[in-house]
């Protein structure tokens, strides 16, 4: 009886520990949510490179200058702030006008790839600035357009590599989290089974014997 009681106590303590440990999972789940947001923002960067190229070409042709100037500057700001947040952490703008906090990345491979994109973005953005601040007929604008022809697609390609790395990192963390959760669930179920069996032996059966 003493051994059975000790086992029951151990099982109950194990269940209590698991219950108390549940809040400790919050950082892991929060980290995965944050990484998913980073994947989303990195994917948006690809779209922004193409949007900005289109807006710049429209400006250079003299089409709806005021509207495209406003739109292009907003796209530049969104790309730049998002890039900084992806790399070093901080607020990243959302499409709806709000912001989300990103932690930045410490994974060397991802940082290296993002730094490649940043280097290309500096040249990309400088060309966009020339187009925004000069008359469409200016030779400077023509030169800036040539820069965009040369760098727009490569920037998209390199950003796409960054997105792929973020996605791979997310899948790794999801796999680890799933494994850990399955292990905890299995241990919890085992503890419940042991508790039920021992409770039946130590408590329920003696009570039934007394009643009969």
Considering 94-98, 185-189, 205-209, the range whose residues carry the highest mean pLDDT is: 94-98
Instruction: Tell me: pLDDT of 208 over 80.
Output: no
Q: Which residue has the higher pLDDT, 78 or 194?
A: 78
Question: What does the pLDDT average to over 20-36?
Answer: 50
Q: Which residue has the higher pLDDT, 5 or 38?
A: 38
H helical segments located in the chain:
2-21, 26-60, 65-88, 108-133, 139-199, 205-211
Q: Residue 57 in contact with residue 127, Cβ under 8 Å?
A: no
Question: What does the pLDDT average to over 131-143?
Answer: 93
Q: Which residue has the higher pLDDT, 194 or 121?
A: 121
Beta bridge partners of 101: 91
Instruction: Tell me: pLDDT of 31 over 60.
Output: no
Average pLDDT over the chain, rounded to an integer: 78
Per-residue model confidence as pLDDT tens digits over 63-92: 778 888 999 999 999 999 999 998 998 888
The CA-CA-CA angle for residues 186, 189, 193, to 5°, reads 135
């Amino acid at each position: 009886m003493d051994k059975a009681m000790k086992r029951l106590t151990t099982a109950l303590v194990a269940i209590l520990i698991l219950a108390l440990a549940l809040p400790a999972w919050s950082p892991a789940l929060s980290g995965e949510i944050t990484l998913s947001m980073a994947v989303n923002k990195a994917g948006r960067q690809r779209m922004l490179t193409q949007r900005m190229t289109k807006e710049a070409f429209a400006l250079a042709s003299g089409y709806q200058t005021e509207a495209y100037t406003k739109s292009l500057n907003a796209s530049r700001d969104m790309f730049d702030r998002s890039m900084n947040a992806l790399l070093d952490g901080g607020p990243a703008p959302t499409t709806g006008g709000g912001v989300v906090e990103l932690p930045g990345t410490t994974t060397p491979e991802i940082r290296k790839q993002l730094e490649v994109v940043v280097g290309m973005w500096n040249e990309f953005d400088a060309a966009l600035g020339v187009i925004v601040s000069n008359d469409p007929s200016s030779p400077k604008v023509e030169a800036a357009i040539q820069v965009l022809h040369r760098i727009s697609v490569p920037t998209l390609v390199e950003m796409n590599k960054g997105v792929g790395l973020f996605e791979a990192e997310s899948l790794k963390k999801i796999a680890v989290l799933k494994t850990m959760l399955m292990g905890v669930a299995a241990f919890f179920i085992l503890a419940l089974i042991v508790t039920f069996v021992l409770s039946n032996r130590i408590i329920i059966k003696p009570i039934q014997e007394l009643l009969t």
